[in-house]
Chains A and B, each alone.
Chain A
């Protein structure tokens, strides 16, 4: 029996109320709005504790009553859309993660955003963001899932474009740089539009998918879909469109999680404040797509196994496609991170790359007889990534702010002065680089294990290569920040002074220090208690928890690779320092590779050439030639001229001469008389 707790919707409701109140309060005092925002998220975070305890104690899922909100029509009858909460292992884990990580980011923001010109607006959207994300992971039905989903799109748009006045310090990319003729630097307002368009447009596919599911199954209640989806899947499979349908349904998730080729919005999303990057990359937004996979892959598997082999094989086609996209994204983004110069950009590439691992694990779960393994792998990697990436972004924010530069090679020799930040950056980086015993090591290992189990050898190999690249780019970042001795020319034009007004503020550094330490603690916990975690997190998902034994061979390979990659990076940069950049620029082939990676495989330029320029060309030609030249001319020139010619002809017979009128009249009368006679 599910345990029912009345107050659960408060967890997602509190930040929405916080957003509203903070909007009102901000009209009077900006600081008050900040505290309201942070406290409202704190309420959510604290309330997750009794929810977790109740969940562990109950032995079943935890739900809230289904408080009714609106009704949506179906073909016959209506379906109730409620405000209820359904917490199984997956949604509970995400709820706790989102609430706590967001709360810590919120505390950091109290210091980081103090005195900003948009502080008030920041808190409205920040709380709204957290509320939307919590709603999307906690809700029990599809329409509220959609509302939370689109809410995160809106909030990320507003926060990415937070510094809407487009001052140069908030840009991403090197001003003036072009690739294939397309500008490679982005202002906050531009990055905001990129984000909402690139995530909002694919969401139409997501809406079509969930709308079809609601219509055809007749329910919006997600737990009903485990079996309720089966007849629909059978029908679609018989028509041969099941894989396509599921892919359309997943388009929104792929975009939200910045998977190839929809990844471009994420890498320019750092135009927002660092705390926003932390929120988007760690706790919210990109994790929504992974949550979608973790939530729906078990449903697809369960329903298609009821629907029959045809459906199951098409579901597997679909999963192979999505898993392939995931592993390719992981690899692609890791290569870009190897050469990036902007601190936040390295972290952004690594986000899309790590999310690729999660997509891979969650998708390939469906290829095996033990789907639980892949799902647990995806979920654990999501958790460990959330923690270390939040820490890295928050630390990066302090570094950038205090050192006055976005570029790591301009931070050389100065970053180490911020001691607390250094410690937490290193800890969190070891998590990202998957060095044992930090959390990323265990979770990435599970993800690769899931790929191996699925039998997709090429993907598994690519995933292992990517983990080598990950170790290299992560330690390259750390080496440049902390190990390369300062050389004057790299700090040229940048004040050597530490601003310090935030650097030593404990309100700012305690959150990321805690998260960095958590990276280590989680790693230790996972090494001993992974089976407990998997049992709890799979409860209520319909999957049975596999017995997870870390594979020693894989652990050995993975740790060797991670450590080797790290040492390689440290060695290279320790020895050559920043001269490596110079060396690469000197050699034409190396320089070309460097350019290719630095300009993000030219993906941005290609997308702009096709969609932006192509779109603009279509718009111009339709607007100028079709609308102006054809439609407007036909209606407002050709047709009126036709009428005026017609009237001129008519007027020619009415010259105003009475004699001619009389003649015509007489002729007419004669004609009528003749007509009568002839009849």
Chain B
């Protein structure tokens, strides 16, 4: 069966249909082609999950040194896949009115080219999430980088060509390091698979794929880690993100910011946690410190921004710190929290970027927070969705954020309160840092909410009005999805929890 392969192939075909029909089809038709093809993916994934998780497509064996090409839906990538699909389907709908506005500003643009790249971008992210092999992972990631690069270069804001190249060079520097590290792994072990198959049963490769040479193992771990930390991005490697995510056309930001970067977190899980558990654990305190710094730095810089989209971009850096923190704990709840936080962040940040887009469309290109104020009355649906978005990323009910935040913190708690390895002073330091870091998210979220939506109606907004129907429907749907996923939490959280709890102790044995 090639159910999951088809979930990627159908949007790919649809994207070229869009290109072929470029001038002949109406914008709405393009939108339908994209949204429906991605809806097909969602249905395929749903069927796969009903057939039983983990679900693996029939593997296509290529032999050493590659391994096999396959697609898997398991407990670990389930939140990621749901995040990619929900957001990309709804943003496909949202794109129509927004890009109409953007094309109007740019003095023209091609719906065919936009939806070609948009749909390919979405499909490639789905491909990354479903991959079973480092080579597949890398190739899909390249397609997603290329398509998003084109979208920024063609339809972005500001100095868009320069920013697009900046984005391209940065992410390729990361990809290059990742690739060398992966080659070392693949060529030393004879396979690039991170999901092994015996008979029909897929299982994570785990320690079996170890590299014999200690030095080589360290080098390949370091290269893959740095490559993924650039893509994530972690503090120090983050400077490309605010440019790219803030200046991308807003629907693209809504996919880039939560979805694409979070895939690096999935990569850390799939490749580093599974294939290099010993090294992950040996270096975990460095990574935890790095993650906490990333959380705090992203949060502080978010507070500094005047531009709403740049604020959201810095908030994404901080949120990626949550993922890194969870993964670095190497504790089942921390890892489950990190993977679940992908979904949390996808829904929360997508609705916030869509809100930023609604304000851009509704208030004549306004992005400066200090010139906003009192918009809740004029754009109630956008305001409610933003509130839900902020609640989601700051981990408050009634959104799924509360579970993922609690799980990440639980992973951290596992390290500091279990056993007697840490001195009381260090415990206090970690606790205070965690409170500051997670607290900053709450602070910048609600301060921003107040600045934009509450108080007297600002002069700067001019005649603010609510966004068009498609934009309002899609933003509300994304925001409500976050509540729905909490209520129906057992569908995603339960398989993830039991899988993580059974695999991590084995890896660390």
Contacts and interface: CB of A to CB of B under 8 A. Distances in A.
Interface in A213-241: 214-216, 232, 235-236, 238-241
Interface in A103-161: 128, 132, 143, 146-147, 150-151, 153-154, 157, 161
Contact of B454 (A78, A166, A235, A618): A166
Interface string A235-259: 1101111001100100100000000
Contacts of A244: 424, 427-428
B201 interface: no
B498 A215 contact: no
B497 A73 contact: yes
Interface stretch (B11-19, B92-100, B357-365, B439-447): B439-447
A194 to B, nearest CB: 9
A632 B243 CA distance: 11
Contacts of A209: 413
Nearest to A124: B384
A189 B407 contact: no
B346 interface: no
Interface stretch (B132-140, B465-473, B487-495): B487-495
A75 B450 contact: no
Contact of A73 (B395, B396, B498): B498
Interface string A155-195: 00100010011100000000000000000000111101100
A128 B236 CA distance: 42
A150 B397 contact: yes
A619 B413 contact: no
B446 A153 contact: no
Given A165-B377, A207-B406, A215 B418 contact: yes
B374 interface: yes
B409 A200 contact: no
A583 interface: no
Nearest to A205: B435
A360 B315 CA distance: 40
Contacts of A207: 405-406, 409
A190 B450 contact: yes
Interface in B176-235: none
Scoring B297, B305, B403, B410 by chain A CB atoms within 10 A of each residue's CB, the highest score goes to: B410
A204 interface: yes
- Report, as a range, how many residues of chain B touch the other chain: 35 or more
Given A69-B489, A72-B407, A73-B333, A239 B420 contact: yes
Given A200-B442, A201-B443, A620-B304, A189 B493 contact: no
A212 interface: yes
Q: Majority SS of interface residues in chain A? A: helix
B90 interface: no
Nearest to A633: B239
Given A73-B501, A77-B501, A238-B420, A189 B455 contact: yes
Contacts of B498: 71, 73, 78
Given A72-B333, A164-B454, A618 B300 contact: yes
B460 interface: no
A71 B418 CA distance: 21
B51 to A, nearest CB: 22
Contact of A211 (B236, B377, B406, B454): B406
A428 interface: no
Contacts of B455: 164-166, 187, 189
B500 A73 contact: yes
B186 to A, nearest CB: 30
A204 B410 contact: no
A547 to B, nearest CB: 39
Given A150-B402, A193-B447, A619-B303, A161 B454 contact: yes
B454 A189 contact: yes
A34 interface: no
A76 B497 contact: no
A356 to B, nearest CB: 23
Contacts of B333: 72-74, 211, 215
Contacts of A73: 332-333, 336, 407, 496-498, 500-501
A247 to B, nearest CB: 10
B37 to A, nearest CB: 32
A147 B493 CA distance: 16
Leading 3 A-B pairs by shortest Cβ distance = A623-B304, A201-B439, A189-B454
29 contacts: A71-B494, A72-B410, A72-B497, A73-B336, A73-B501, A75-B501, A75-B505, A143-B406, A150-B395, A150-B396, A153-B396, A164-B374, A164-B376, A165-B377, A165-B455, A166-B454, A189-B454, A193-B446, A197-B439, A197-B447, A200-B439, A208-B435, A211-B413, A212-B418, A235-B420, A241-B427, A622-B297, A623-B305, A636-B166
Given A147-B397, A164-B454, 9 more contacts: A71-B490, A146-B406, A153-B396, A165-B377, A165-B454, A192-B450, A204-B409, A627-B304, A631-B239
